[in-house]
């Protein structure tokens, strides 16, 4: 019984890429890909700077809210498709719920 076992403390933490949450790092990574497709150093630098400012904007908006704020915002503001539709919750276009 001397085995050293690891007991996780936080099971519901957000996924991380380095030190950033995934939803904050996603704009930078996406814009790096777009800048790479641009084919020039200027396009890459402009795209990365736009992605960086978008991620900073998202981080500031999300700072005082629930950790999954970005996922909640996407659910309510983007159209549903068969991949992202949830079975246990009503569709996002139904705004009034009784009960």
Query: Domain coordinates of the chain in residue numbers?
Result: 18-77
Question: Nearest Cα to 80, choosing from 91, 95, 71?
Answer: 91
User: pLDDT at position 50, please?
Assistant: 96
Closest CA to 25 of 33, 13, 17: 17
Give pLDDT tens digits for 18-76.
Answer: 888 888 899 999 999 999 999 999 999 999 999 999 999 988 888 888 877 887 887 77
Q: How far apart are the C-alpha atoms of 91 and 77, rounded to whole Å?
A: 11
76 vs 95, higher pLDDT: 76
């Amino acid at each position: 019984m001397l085995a050293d076992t690891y007991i996780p403390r936080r099971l519901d933490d957000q996924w991380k890429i380095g030190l950033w949450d995934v939803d904050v790092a996603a704009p930078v990574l996406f814009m790096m890909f777009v800048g790479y497709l641009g084919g020039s150093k200027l396009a890459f630098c402009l795209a990365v700077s736009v992605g960086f400012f978008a991620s900073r904007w998202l981080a500031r908006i999300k700072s005082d809210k629930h950790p999954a704020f970005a996922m909640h915002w996407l659910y309510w503001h983007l159209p549903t498709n068969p991949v992202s539709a949830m079975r246990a919750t009503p569709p996002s276009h139904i705004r009034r719920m009784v009960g």
